[in-house]
């Protein structure tokens, strides 16, 4: 799901012309990743939608559209932005929708609008808002700072009080398993590598992944979606060169070494398991993850998805058995810890996502 691709951090790519496009890209990031100060009255629909688009989402496909009515916003799935190889049953799409929904709701509270969501029959969500006292709390403030940080972390343990706050943020309807012990993290690392090996061996997966990579800032700025290499800790190259270099640097051995290294640097991982295998349950998983992520961000932590073992079917069954819940589907795997700031990804303009 929501947000990645960890694979593209395999090795630095060659810098090519990045100095000419970095400044416009940085300006676009500064304009995007912020919460606007509102002046005047009225329902701030576009500010809320802008915040929602900052939510985590798989491959940064941004698979959503928005419909606005008086004091109502609907978030609708966009099937044209599916990733059918990595997400054949639309699991990640609906988790991403849940991430956007929870971000919308947290932004609403910060601006003084409480939202009441209801899942629609087609898998979208209709949110009716009412005016309340503004509550710009830590989760609201964390919205423009949340990111997927795919580099190694510094290994500093997370204190028990922070872990309790992370657990409390998830709520009761979605299961959370924190993996903190070194031996347990090593076993989970084995499953991450196994899932990754299966994906690397699938030519269709690799074609889909490469289609969503944005190899340089110019391409990322023009498309405003996908997986910008610099946002994963890599340098940039033009697409013609990046596509040729990728198979040379992304080998099973190099990827396995890298994955084990980043997991070892992370003091904890979190596994999310929803109540059912339905779009409504997957939306709930996205909401729970977003509360977890915003809480972690407010605490100064970084996060990154490690979803390979939930995307490969055989590894997912192995993971479910390891969790002691073989009948349930693990939905997300996330590592967390303290790490560096990286360049941010972009989003498409909010007005381009509106439907009548």
Strand ranges of the sheet holding 113-119, from the earlier edge strand across to the other edge: 113-119, 125-131, 72-77, 64-69, 354-355
Which residues are CB-contacts of 43 (< 8 A; sequence separation ≥ 6)? 70, 71, 113, 129
Q: Can you give the pLDDT of all 356 residues of the chain as single tens digits?
A: 443 444 344 434 433 344 444 479 999 999 999 998 887 779 999 999 999 999 999 999 999 999 999 999 999 999 999 999 999 999 999 999 999 999 999 999 999 999 999 999 988 999 999 999 999 999 999 999 999 999 999 999 999 999 999 999 999 999 999 999 999 999 999 999 999 999 999 999 999 999 999 999 999 999 999 999 988 877 788 999 989 988 888 899 999 999 999 999 999 999 999 999 999 999 999 999 999 999 999 999 999 999 999 999 999 999 999 999 999 999 999 999 999 999 999 999 999 999 98
- Domains of the chain (ranges; CATH) run 6-190+260-355 (3.40.109.10)
Of 264, 269, 265, 289, the C-alpha closest to 336 is 269
DSSP conformation letters of 2-58: -S--GGGGSSPPPP-SHHHHHHHHHHHHHHHSS-PPP-SSS--HHHHHHHHTTS--G
Of 326, 183, 269, the C-alpha closest to 6 is 269
This prediction's pTM: 0.93
DSSP conformation letters of 301-331: -EEEE--HHHHSHHHHHHHHHHTT-TTS-EE
What does each C-alpha distance from 125 to 54, 78, 116, 156, 351 come to in angstroms?
Answer: 17, 13, 10, 39, 19
Separation of CA 264 from chain center: 21
* 150-207 per-position pLDDT tens digit: 999 999 999 999 999 999 999 999 999 999 999 999 999 999 999 999 999 999 999 9
DSSP state of 232: G
The encoded tokens of residue 131 equal 């005016």
Coil, helix or strand for 152?
A: coil
């Amino acid at each position: 799901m929501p947000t990645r691709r960890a694979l593209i951090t395999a090795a630095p790519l060659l810098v090519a012309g990045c100095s000419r496009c970095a400044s416009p890209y940085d300006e676009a990031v500064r304009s995007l990743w912020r919460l606007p100060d509102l002046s005047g009255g009225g329902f701030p629909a576009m500010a809320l939608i802008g915040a929602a688009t900052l939510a985590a989402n798989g491959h940064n496909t941004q698979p959503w559209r928005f419909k606005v009515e008086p004091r109502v916003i609907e978030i609708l799935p966009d099937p044209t932005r599916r990733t059918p190889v990595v997400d054949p049953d639309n699991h990640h799409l609906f988790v991403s929708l849940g991430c956007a929904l929870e971000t919308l709701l947290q932004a609403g509270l910060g601006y003084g609008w409480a939202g009441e969501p209801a899942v629609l029959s087609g898998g979208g969500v209709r949110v009716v808002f009412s005016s309340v006292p503004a509550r710009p709390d830590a989760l609201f403030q964390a919205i423009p700072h949340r990111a997927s940080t795919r580099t190694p972390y510094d290994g500093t343990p997370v204190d028990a009080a922070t872990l309790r706050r992370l657990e409390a943020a998830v709520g009761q309807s979605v299961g959370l398993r924190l993996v903190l012990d070194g031996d347990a993290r090593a076993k989970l690392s084995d499953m991450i590598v196994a899932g990754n090996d299966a994906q690397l061996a699938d030519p269709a997966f690799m074609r889909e992944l490469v289609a969503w990579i944005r190899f340089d800032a110019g391409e990322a700025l023009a498309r405003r979606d996908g997986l910008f290499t610099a946002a994963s800790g890599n340098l940039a190259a033009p697409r013609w060169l990046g596509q040729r270099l990728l198979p040379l640097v992304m080998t099973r051995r190099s990827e396995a070494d890298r994955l084990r290294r980043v997991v070892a640097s992370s003091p904890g991982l979190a596994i999310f398991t929803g109540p059912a295998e339905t779009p409504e349950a997957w939306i709930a998983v996205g909401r729970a993850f977003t509360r977890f992520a915003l809480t972690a961000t407010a605490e100064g932590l970084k996060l990154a998805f490690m979803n390979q073992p939930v995307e490969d079917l055989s590894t997912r069954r192995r993971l479910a058995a390891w969790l002691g819940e073989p009948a349930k589907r693990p939905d997300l795997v996330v590592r967390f810890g303290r790490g560096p700031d990286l360049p941010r990804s972009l989003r498409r303009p909010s007005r381009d996502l509106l439907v009548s």
